[in-house]
Amino acid sequence: MHPLKFGQVENVFNKSFQTRVSGVPHKTSQRLSIIDIARDAGVSPATVSRAFNRPDLLKADTLQRIKAVSREHGFRPNRVGSSLRSGSTRTLGLVLPTLRNPVFGECFEGAEQYAHAHGYSVMVASTGYAPVTEADAVQSLIDHQVDGLILTLGNPARSATLRLLAGQDLPYVLAYNESSTHPFVSVDNAAAASDMVSLLAARGHRRIAIVSGPLTASDRARRRLAGARGQARKLGLEEVLHLPMASHTAADSDKLRELLSAPRKARAPTALFCSNDLLAASVISCLRGLGLSVPTDISVCGFDGMTFAGLMVPPLTTIEQPSHDIGARACASLLACLQGETPPSLRLAHRLISGGTIAAATSAAS
């Protein structure tokens, strides 16, 4: 089954060959160990290990020698051996809904950069917003013996994933999710949604609809809806409608038509607040197909602040989340957990980006 049989045999040969002859056959694809280097450098394996992990402990001279020998042979310590012995893989797991949404790509890069800067690697897994996949992804990362997890869950209140996690003593922090029981890094979703409703109200909108994906698959969408409704009530607007779509990333044209070109057009919302930017773009595109232009005929706004939102024509009005930072800070919090600390939950600042997709409400108010 294992294809490299022959290669391995060859390696063994090279290995003993090299230890006998002192020449350095630079390319002879070796699988050297710390022991080989130790022999060549005239020190013990432990000292070689220290050269890579605690170089400060060694005499400068010894360190140089070991480094030189290692470099000559192109030797790098095998992390698998190291992980097994030390009990730490120095790898963090990151679970995200989907990398088709560049917002999560940014988050990944934020986490990746922070992790690398601190000697850790990150292993991502995407869930496609599916609870089962989510649990599988976490299990897989646990199997890989990651030192901790950064999670964006569908529902951080009750999910199979969290039950799984409860059985381990693996530190984890949530990203984007807000939770009363676990450290998280996110924006204040309710407040952000509330801000957007205020803006809409200021432009004269009194009938607003929230367009989202399935609420069961995203507590963020739920919080945003709640925040919007709260603010609408406070400002005396009409009850915020809710239009859930089958997907988090694609609008359903029929549902939109039903909502807008319905008998009582007078009662149709004048603004559609979408729970993420991808969805907002899709909504705008669908509206276009229905003969409605944004923002002339109807206002639309999003949530996320993906880079792309600013490139749309007109630019999308949206709430910017600091995704790169969310990733980086979540990573920082997780590393703090690994040090035994209990990091506080962080609500990072959001920012309302006023693009060109919201206009003053046209239809005479009710």
Q: Which residues bind a copy of itself (CB under 8 A)?
A: 2-4, 7-8, 26-27, 29, 74, 76-81, 83-84, 86-89, 91, 98-102, 104-106, 108-109, 112, 116, 121, 123-126, 128, 139-140, 142-145, 166-169, 249, 278, 281-282, 284-285, 288, 294, 307-308, 310-313, 315, 338-340
Q: What is the dihedral of CA 327, 329, 335, 337, to 10 degrees?
A: -110
Q: Where does this chain bind DNA (CB under 7 A)? A: 2, 31, 33-35, 42-50, 52-53, 57-59, 61-63, 77-78, 80-82, 84-87
Q: Residue 8 or 216: which CB sits closer to a copy of itself? A: 8
- Rounded CA Rg of the chain: 27
Distance separating alpha carbons of residues 182 and 204, to the nearest angstrom: 39
Helix (H, G, I), strand (E, B) or coil at 182: coil
Distance separating alpha carbons of residues 93 and 43, to the nearest angstrom: 36
Min dist. Cβ of residue 122 to a copy of itself (A): 8
Residue 139 binding: pick among DNA, a copy of itself, none (C-beta 5-8 Å cut-off by kind): a copy of itself
Helices (H), 300-350: 323-338
Number of helices (H) and strands (E) in the chain: give both, helices first: 13, 12
Residue pointed to by tokens 């790169």: 324
Residue 126 binding: pick among a copy of itself, DNA, none (C-beta 5-8 Å cut-off by kind): a copy of itself
CB of 145 within 8 A of CB of 296? no
Residue 62 binding: pick among DNA, a copy of itself, none (C-beta 5-8 Å cut-off by kind): DNA
Q: Which residues does residue 9 pair with via DSSP β-bridges, in sequence order?
A: none
Min dist. Cβ of residue 48 to DNA (A): 7
DSSP summary character for residue 317: B
Min dist. Cβ of residue 142 to DNA (A): 12
Residue 173 binding: pick among a copy of itself, DNA, none (C-beta 5-8 Å cut-off by kind): none
Residue 238 binding: pick among DNA, a copy of itself, none (C-beta 5-8 Å cut-off by kind): none
